[in-house]
Amino acid sequence: MMAELSLLERLAVWALPVIFAITVHEVAHGWMAERLGDPTARRLGRITLNPIKHIDPLGTLIVPGLLLFAGGFIFGWAKPVPVTYENLRDSKRGMAIVAAAGRVQTC
């Protein structure tokens, strides 16, 4: 039987891959928005694999940290990628595609 993981081991096994996945997810939104005509995310430096650019203090650090210490369900979120829908070539369809870009990446 395997011993229970320490907090540091749980962070290494769980948090690092999740932070990477969240970062790629947010980059996918920004990249697709740029492909459809909106350079907002690029101009604000948000199309990057640097996870620090995507950290929301409450949603990425505090809430998941408290839930991790409580030992239960862990939930969190990243800073949303800025999209100016007026810049998209077809704003209504474009926003749907930008939203789906993040979802498709995580499947």
Residue 82 pLDDT: 94
Mean pLDDT along residues 14-20: 82
Six-digit token string for 6: 């320490």
- Does the pLDDT value for residue 1 go beyond 50? no
How far is residue 94's CA from residue 34's CA, in Å, rounded to a whole number? 10
Helix ranges, 1-107 (H): 7-10, 16-35, 40-43, 63-70, 91-106
pLDDT band at 9 (very low <50, low <70, confident <90, very high): confident
Catalytically annotated residue among 4, 9, 26, 86: 26
10-14, 16-20, 94-98: least confidently modelled range: 10-14
Indicate the pTM of the whole model. 0.81
What are the two backbone dihedrals, phi and then psi, of residue 52, each rounded to the nearest 5 degrees?
Answer: -60, -35
**Cα distance between residue 33 and residue 95, in whole Å:** 8
Instruction: End-to-end CA distance of the chain: give it in Å, rounded.
Output: 32
The reply to whether 26 belongs to the active site is yes
Q: Where are the domains of the chain?
A: 7-106
